[in-house]
A and B are shown apart, each in its own frame.
Chain A
Amino acid sequence: MSDDRFTRLAPPRVGPFREGAFESPLHATRTAAWLGLALGVCFVTCFVTGFLSHLIQHPPSWWSWPARPAGLYRLSQGIHVTTGIASIPLLLAKLWTVYPSFWTWPPVRSAAHVIERISLLPLVGGSLFMLFSGVASISRWFPWGFSFPPVHYAVAWITMGALVVHVGAKIGVTRLALSPRAPDLTVDAAARERGWGGLTRRGFLGAAAAASGALVVTTVGQTFRPFAALGVLAPRDPRVGPQGVPVNKTAGNAGVVEAATDPAFRLMVDGDVATPLALSLEELRAMPQRAATLPIACVDGWSANGRWRGVPLRDLVVLAGGPEGASVVTHSLQRAGAPYAMADVNPSHAADADTLLALELNGEPLALDHGFPVRLIGPNRPGVMQTKWVGRVEVLAP
């Protein structure tokens, strides 16, 4: 009964093309269904991890990101970027498979069909945009005039919304195409494929999977250390950088060289405190120090462990007479308003013993590009919220 859906297919005339213009057996429902399924899993994974990263950086009042486990953000953002990269071949293969549908004739058949097709523009354009903008951004290539994070976030909603419409329209045909009764599986279809003599459907899916796998193997090493040596197409190597840790923004780029190397530097601790402090580097070094091995986990998907040593943030808050359960805002020496020049440290992070104002990395004073004289480093935080060149610690009562 349900097989009627396949036998009553629209005639193979496709748009302005003659009958049978798209001859390849690769334009098959079952192939599209497999690719759609794989792509659906990847896109949902990207959306969930991306939304998480958005929440962490723009926490709504009802939500708070915990300081533990220390490596959770590193894992989730590594999955976000790697899954996005893995999706590239899957998306291109999927679009190739369904390409004749673009020329469906007549172009629209009913109101529902119009809605389905209109929703394909945000789906196809949005998917291509999400992957293109993501790859360009981790390559620090910004060939557009807008700010990447809010646009990547907004278009993610547009793409996922269009995906929901698409799933609603295709779930029936997908389920049927993946069932053992699917006509694509018949002896006829196999014979047709042999007669065609090109890439088989299985070979095509294999090629898409191989391309996806090759991209994962050659990029995941930027966050997954055992694969570091294989990361030949990754923008980062977690082993390469000053003191063995990569740098995202250099001191020169941030315009802080002079302020950060000024001997008159003082770290200000103020806000809701009993006694505001102004501490010199020597005074910070004289305080009890704590060491912790913590990752720098960049939103760009790379991460690297470092052995950090410095003053626990909570000790500074206590020293200044700040209240229990306080949150903190760290301000860098960068000009106010520069992107990521300040970061919110919520009470969970501010109270964690390993949230440090670090003075040392891997046994040496911080390199200038890692935030000398003092930087914030804490467990389970995106790199952009690990403020470098900290000049002011603002304590906020709960």
Chain B
Amino acid sequence: MTRPPGLELPPPFAVAEDSSRYGPLFWVGVGLGWVAISFGVWSLLAKPGATHPPAVAVWVAGLALVHDLFLAPAALLVARLIHRVAPRIARGLVLGALAISGMVALYAFPVMRRFGAQPDNPSFLPRNAGAGLAVVLALVWIVAGAVLARRLHARTDRG
């Protein structure tokens, strides 16, 4: 993607290589943190019949990999596509509304799919979460649309 003329690079996220970053506080954190991590690992290993440590390792590492190699790149590509096709005045709004929609939908997925539904327990998942999600998403896009309308209106007013 070509950058508009005069646009400098954004501040790179990469962090300073300076030695003060790895000062005493860092090493205190490493010491304390790894004690807690070790306690967690020990807790897993102490009851392998209930915890199935290899399965837990697969889930923990797997979720990190799914995020880093699939979810984040997919979000990046979608954002880049919208950046390219959406008119400038709507770009931020569409990206923001899409981000909210995606995050709410991600949470709602297991409730909406009713994976845990029990036929003899109607008090669990008493509502249609799919309809609930639709209402929430509709509100998000209505607000985004209203903001866009106001922006367009303001631009027309300015002539």
B149 within 8 A of A: no
Please tell me which one of the listed residues A96, A100, A156 contacts residue B75 in the complex, with CB atoms under 8 A apart: A96
B104 within 8 A of A: yes
Range of interface residues on B (Cβ < 8 Å): 35 or more
B44 proximity list for chain A (CB < 8 A) = 150-151, 154-155
B28 proximity list for chain A (CB < 8 A) = 168
Asked, given contacts A10-B15, A10-B17, A146-B52, whether A198 binds B10 with beta carbons under 8 Å apart, the answer is: no
B76 proximity list for chain A (CB < 8 A) = 99
Interchain nearest-CB distance for A236 vs B (Å): 7
CB of A252 within 8 A of CB of B40, answer no
A124 proximity list for chain B (CB < 8 A) = 64, 67-68
Asked, given contacts A24-B79, A140-B116, A160-B36, whether A9 binds B16 with beta carbons under 8 Å apart, the answer is: yes
Interchain nearest-CB distance for A49 vs B (Å): 17
A380 within 8 A of B: no
B159 within 8 A of A: no
CB of A232 within 8 A of CB of B132, answer yes
A88 to B18, CA, bound (A): 32
C-beta contact mask, A83-104 vs B, less than 8 Å → 1, else 0? 0010011001101111111101
CB of A247 within 8 A of CB of B121, answer yes
CB of B14 within 8 A of CB of A235, answer no
A192 to B11, CA, bound (A): 9
Interchain nearest-CB distance for A324 vs B (Å): 36
CB of A135 within 8 A of CB of B95, answer no
Interchain nearest-CB distance for B85 vs A (Å): 12
Closest residue of A by beta carbon distance from B91: A198
B135 proximity list for chain A (CB < 8 A) = 232
Range of interface residues on A (Cβ < 8 Å): 35 or more
Asked, given contacts A9-B16, A89-B103, A154-B43, whether A23 binds B3 with beta carbons under 8 Å apart, the answer is: yes
C-beta contact mask, B54-98 vs A, less than 8 Å → 1, else 0? 011001111110011000100110010001000010011001110
Closest residue of B by beta carbon distance from A251: B120
Interchain nearest-CB distance for B26 vs A (Å): 5
A12 proximity list for chain B (CB < 8 A) = 9, 12, 14
Please tell me which one of the listed residues B7, B118, B122 contacts residue A196 in the complex, with CB atoms under 8 A apart: B7
A263 within 8 A of B: no
Please tell me which one of the listed residues A207, A246, A252 contacts residue B96 in the complex, with CB atoms under 8 A apart: A207
| Most chain A beta-carbon neighbours within 10 Å: one of B7, B11, B126, B133 | B11
Interchain nearest-CB distance for A204 vs B (Å): 7
A242 proximity list for chain B (CB < 8 A) = 123
A226 within 8 A of B: no
Interchain nearest-CB distance for B88 vs A (Å): 5
CB of B21 within 8 A of CB of A211, answer no
CB of B39 within 8 A of CB of A121, answer no
A225 within 8 A of B: no
CB of B121 within 8 A of CB of A8, answer no
CB of A28 within 8 A of CB of B103, answer no
**9 A-B contacts (beta carbon < 8 Å):** A97-B13, A98-B13, A100-B14, A139-B125, A154-B41, A164-B36, A165-B34, A198-B83, A207-B96
Closest 4 CB pairs of A and B: A168-B29, A140-B116, A232-B132, A161-B36
Question: B residues near A, CB below 8 A?
Answer: 1, 3-4, 6-18, 20-23, 25-30, 32-41, 43-44, 47, 50-52, 55-56, 59-64, 67-68, 72, 75-76, 79, 83, 88, 91-92, 95-97, 99-100, 103-104, 106-108, 110-111, 115-118, 120-127, 129, 131-133, 135-136, 140
